[in-house]
Structure 1
Amino acid sequence: MSIFRRQTFVAASCLIALVCFQPLFLLAQKPSSPSDLKKYEEAENLFREAQAVPGSATADQRRTAVQVFMLAAEIFHSTGSLVEEGQSLDAAADIQDDVG
């Protein structure tokens, strides 16, 4: 394969990646309605609270963190914040996987 073809392939691959993944970043926006914004901020606080639980915490503390992440995910879902919902579910799954 010639150098020109490789450079063209790399450039095209980068362009495709930008076009495909850009919408994911656009989804991560705060809601505009005041009631949804208040819920969103509540979910953010819950997420931070659960995130603050250290890895060395007891199993019960970590299970509580999973429940808090799940609650945050539910609230994010209700506000249409799908990226944050996914992040909350992912964090809950990581802890649940460790705790068993």
Structure 2
Amino acid sequence: MSRHQFPGLDGASTVFIGWDRPMQTFFVQVLRPHPHLAGEEETVAWHGTAIGELANAREAVTIASRWASLPSDLAIRLETDRLKTLGQSDGEAQLAARRFITR
């Protein structure tokens, strides 16, 4: 799994974008401080939670760019992250999680 972090455009949120090999999807997660619970965060957006949901890096970057200013080469970096995982296989924990998710 890869995970890159960027400050949100609003100055308060944090944007995470990366590749999740076991889920075979790119993902985008946007968090901001919870307005009522000190030290806690709330999820503003979370894409790439289903197997294969975001199949290409450009799609993930397009979504994330709504919340953060991103480097122009980010899609290439994400695709490199994905390619680095091609030779990996699922371990026991990933296989168990996949069985749970695909029920």
Calculate the TM-score normalised by the size of structure 1: 0.30
Q: Which has the higher helix share?
A: 1
Q: Which has the higher strand share?
A: 2
Rg bigger for which structure? 1
Calculate the TM-score normalised by the size of structure 2: 0.30
